[in-house]
Amino acid sequence: MPLEWTPAVDRLDLVADPVAKAISEAKSPGPALSVAEIDPELADTAAFCERYGVALEDSANCVIVAAKRGGETRYAAVMVLATQRADVNGVVRRHLDARKASFAPQADAVAITGMEYGGITPIGLPADWPVLVDENVTRRSFVVIGSGVRRSKLGLSGEALVEATAAEVIALTL
């Protein structure tokens, strides 16, 4: 079953509230950001890619990292292609100047972002969170990411992702 992509600005009902707000407030979300409705049972990357015929290298995952230093916890979003793994304990930890960095607990990630687990996206995250995008993501002309909910996906170029999130581009993978 092929995906039916629509400009996200025309289907804000398909994304999480924080994502809809970010899209609505963007200067020009336009056609560069698309959304497609999917079966929420197939939101996990491998199942989604198999069912909808999307190559793993055209899908990027967003992980929320909890960075700790001196009793303070800061959060960041990390975007890597589905074919790669983020170096959270090395590159990410050092970049965030943290003593310890780990994946945020699922309950915390969901509560703080206002998004569903398995659909978290860097679009619509708190403004003070750093968004780190692996350089390989930026090379994709079209990449599929979460929409904040499990029943849809967003699609855009890697460069548009960086622009939409004011992300920092670095080499993040192992």
Is 1 within a domain? Answer: no
What is the C-alpha radius of gyration for the chain, rounded to an integer number of angstroms? 15
Per-residue pLDDT at 131? 97
Q: How many whole angstroms separate alpha carbon 138 and alpha carbon 28?
A: 19
pTM exceeds 0.85, yes or no = yes
Is 76 within a domain? Answer: yes
Is 47 within a domain? Answer: yes
Q: What is the pLDDT of residues 56-85, one digit of tens each?
A: 999 999 999 999 999 999 999 999 999 999
- Total domain count for the chain? 1
Per-residue pLDDT at 32? 84
Catalogue the long-range contacts made by 71-75 (C-beta closer than 8 Å, 24 or more residues apart). 74/98, 74/129, 75/104, 75/112, 75/126, 75/129
CA distances from 166 to 122, 129, 141 (A): 10, 10, 18
Domain enclosing residue 14, as ranges: 6-170
Is 149 within a domain? Answer: yes
- Collect all residues with Cβ–Cβ distance below 8 Å to 1 and sequence separation of at least 6: 51, 52
CATH of the domain at 142: 3.90.960.10
Per-residue pLDDT at 172? 85
SS3 70: coil
% pLDDT > 70, the chain: 96
Per-residue pLDDT at 174? 67
In the predicted model, residues of the chain with pLDDT beneath 70 are: 1, 27-31, 174
- Collect all residues with Cβ–Cβ distance below 8 Å to 53 and sequence separation of at least 6: 2
Per-residue pLDDT at 29? 55
